[in-house]
Structure 1
Amino acid sequence: MKRIFHLLLITLSLSTLRAQEPGEDLLAWNASRKLSWSDYKAAPNPGSDAAATTTTYLSIDYHISGNNFSYTIKSWFSRTLSWGRHKTSYILSHEQGHFDIAEIYARKLHRRMSEYRFDKDSYRKELKRVYDEVTGEKAGLQEQYDRETQHSINKEKQAEWEKKIRSMLEELKDYADY
């Protein structure tokens, strides 16, 4: 009996998550492809004074057939839920930081999943727990990033965070092959 499950987490957006599949909306994280303002398709939220909003998802598809367990993890950017009001290269760099943080946690999720030992009786509960823990940590770091950089206003802190994010990606490079 084969089962397929798909989990998504939305961050940095107050929008309601609707069923999403890769395609025109979702852009997978790629080290050689940075975000551009043309990726931001949503209209700015008139009720927000934010310069931009970046919406990211982590997904894990896992497949079970008998006692065989496999999974695929992705870090996604949503074009239709992301918007920019002040479209400068500096603001875009800050927003790229949010997408890179999502990738950091995709790698952390891969690390946790690589340590997971499949148990046919408890896998649903265990996988949900692991996913929830990792995505909770991700949300916390996203908030810390915005708080410490003051949403990119503090240029010194922004530069520190850019270095920190690059370092974290490098530290987790062994888990980038998910």
Structure 2
Amino acid sequence: MSQNNTIAWSKDYFLKSSDFKADSNPATFEDSHSTIKYSYIWIVNSEGFGNEIKFFIKNIVLTTEFYPMLSWIRQTQDPTLLLNHEQGHFDLAELLKSKITRHIEDAFFGKKFSTRGQNSEQQKQYARESSGLMIANEIEKWEKYLFDERQEYDSQTNYGQIHEKQQKFDDMFKKLRM
């Protein structure tokens, strides 16, 4: 686990019961919940155009992260099924990551953006800040897509209870680990 209490997706790591650190919510139907998001790094470059600095964004890299402190699992008779299903949520996010990365990069490809600041150093500083906010806004849109896909996964598998459907997803997710 990293310093900021997240677990980055890895083909060699599988979620364990002890990774789910939040208290379960007695008001919900589900027996488990996992919080999964994308963190990101990127490169922002700038060019001078007269007295103005314009910036552009490239090399956006997403990391699929699981948040233990916001995730919970009820201790049931067989937590193996729940853990497998929640691992599926993590794997699904990783599976969608390349598609989401492409779409986010396409939103910025070939575009140059103006920035504020009274001198080139301030403009460069604000370019970094502005580019981060712009990427965060794009990530937010795509996390909605991830949320919808996760709901579809839950619906198709009935939260892992329809074993044949869950197995089809499991087989698809195994390809991530090859």
TM-score normalised to structure 1 length: 0.70
1:120 corresponding residue in structure 2:
112
Tell me if structure 2 keeps the 8 A contact 1:57–1:75: yes
- CA–CA separation in structure 2 for the residues paired with 1:137 and 1:154: 23
Superposition deviation, residue 158 in structure 1: 1.1
- CA–CA separation in structure 2 for the residues paired with 1:38 and 1:84: 9
Secondary structure at the aligned position of 1:160 is classed as helix
Which protein is bigger by CA-based radius of gyration? Answer: 2
Q: Are 1:49 and 2:29 an aligned pair? A: yes
Q: Are 1:153 and 2:144 an aligned pair? A: no
**Structure 2 counterparts to residues 55-134 of structure 1, below 5 A:** 55-66=35-46, 67=55, 69=57, 70-85=59-74, 86=76, 88-113=79-104, 115=106, 116-121=108-113, 127=135, 130-134=138-142
- CA–CA separation in structure 2 for the residues paired with 1:154 and 1:78: 26
2:8 corresponding residue in structure 1:
28
Structure 1 letter corresponding to 2:101 = H
Secondary structure at the aligned position of 1:80 is classed as helix
Secondary structure at the aligned position of 2:69 is classed as coil
2:171 corresponding residue in structure 1:
163
TM-score normalised to structure 2 length: 0.70
Q: Unaligned stretches of 5+ in structure 2?
A: 47-54, 115-129
Runs (4 or more) in structure 1 with deviation over 4 Å come to 113-116, 122-130
Superposition deviation, residue 48 in structure 1: 1.8
Q: Name the Cα RMSD after superposition.
A: 2.8
Deviations 1:83-115 (A, max 9, x none): 110361121010100001111222222333555
Structure 2 letter corresponding to 1:121 = F
Identity %: 25
Structure 2 letter corresponding to 1:75 = T
Q: Which structure: greater helix fraction?
A: 2
- CA–CA separation in structure 2 for the residues paired with 1:128 and 1:118: 19
Report the more deviating stretch, 64-73 or 117-126: 117-126
Tell me if structure 1 keeps the 8 A contact 2:56–2:112: no
Secondary structure at the aligned position of 2:39 is classed as strand
Tell me if structure 1 keeps the 8 A contact 2:9–2:65: yes
Superposition deviation, residue 146 in structure 1: 0.3
